[in-house]
Amino acid sequence: MHYRDLVSVKLWFNLKSEANKTYLGYLWWLLEPILHVAVFFLVFEKLLQRGGENFLIFLLCGNIPYLWFSKTVSNASNSVLNGRGLITQVPIAKVFFPMMVVLTDLVKQMFVFIFFFLFLILYGQAAQSTWIYVPAIILVELLVIVAFAMLSAAITPFVPDLRHIIPTGLMLVMFGSGIFYSYKDVVSAEYQSWFMMNPMANLIENFRRVIIDGIPPDWFSLAIIALVSGLVIGLMLMLFQRLDTTYAKLVVQ
C-alpha cells in the first residue's frame, strides 16, 4: 500500500464526500463551532448573567480548542470499527484510520482558527504581539489530540463499551477545562496546580494568555505536554504495529 498516495487522495475525497451529504456543505466547518459558542454565550451571558468582562472572546478562546479536541477524539474512537469494510478486504495498517480522522479534522480546524482571528480583529480585540505564539500552542494541542485519538481508536475495538463512556469523558473534559469560567475564580488555590495537570485546561489557559492578556505562554508546561504526548504517540505506534492483524479479527465480530 502506498500510504502517501492514499492519504492525499482520501483526505480531499473525505472532505468532499462529507460536504456533499448536507445542503450547507463546507459551511458547516464554521457553522458548527459558531452554534456551540452561541449556546454557551446564551446560557452564561444572558440566562445566568455570569459572563464577565469580554466574555465572548474569553469563551471563544476556550471553546474553539476544546471542540477541536472533542470532535477528533470522538470521531477517532469509532474509526477502526468504521473501517471494518476496508480492514476485512485489504491488508491496511490500522493506524491509518485514526490518523485520517486527525488530518480531516485538522484541515477543518485551520479554517476555524483563521476565521477566529479575523473575527477577533473585526470585533475590535486589540492585536497582541504575543499572537505569534499561537501556532506553537496549536502544534502542542495537535500532539495531545493525536495521542488521545490513537488511544481511543486502539482500545475501542477491544472494549466496544467504551463507545458509551467516551462521550461522558469528553463532557467531563469540557466542564473540567475552564471553557466558560476562569479556573482562578473557581478552583481553590491549593488545587489549582492539579487542575492545570489537565492538558486541555493548560492549553486553554495558554491560548488566553497569548490572545487576550498579551503574556507569552508557559513554555515549561507546553514542553511537558508535548513530551508526554510524544511518548504516548510512540507507544501507540508500537502497539498498532504489534496488534495489526488482531484488529482484523476483532472488527468482524
**Footprint of another protein on this chain (CB under 8 A)?**
1-2, 5-6, 8-10, 13, 16-18, 20-21, 85-92, 245, 248-249, 252-253
CB 48, min distance to another protein, A = 42
CB 15, min distance to another protein, A = 11
86 versus 103: smaller Cβ distance to another protein: 86
CB 16, min distance to another protein, A = 7
13 versus 111: smaller Cβ distance to another protein: 13
1 versus 223: smaller Cβ distance to another protein: 1
CB 111, min distance to another protein, A = 20
50 versus 249: smaller Cβ distance to another protein: 249
CB 13, min distance to another protein, A = 6
| Contact assessment for residue 145 and residue 72, using Cβ atoms and an 8 Å cutoff | yes
63 versus 79: smaller Cβ distance to another protein: 79
Which amino acid, one-letter code, is at 127? A
| Contact assessment for residue 165 and residue 245, using Cβ atoms and an 8 Å cutoff | no
5 versus 185: smaller Cβ distance to another protein: 5
CB 252, min distance to another protein, A = 7
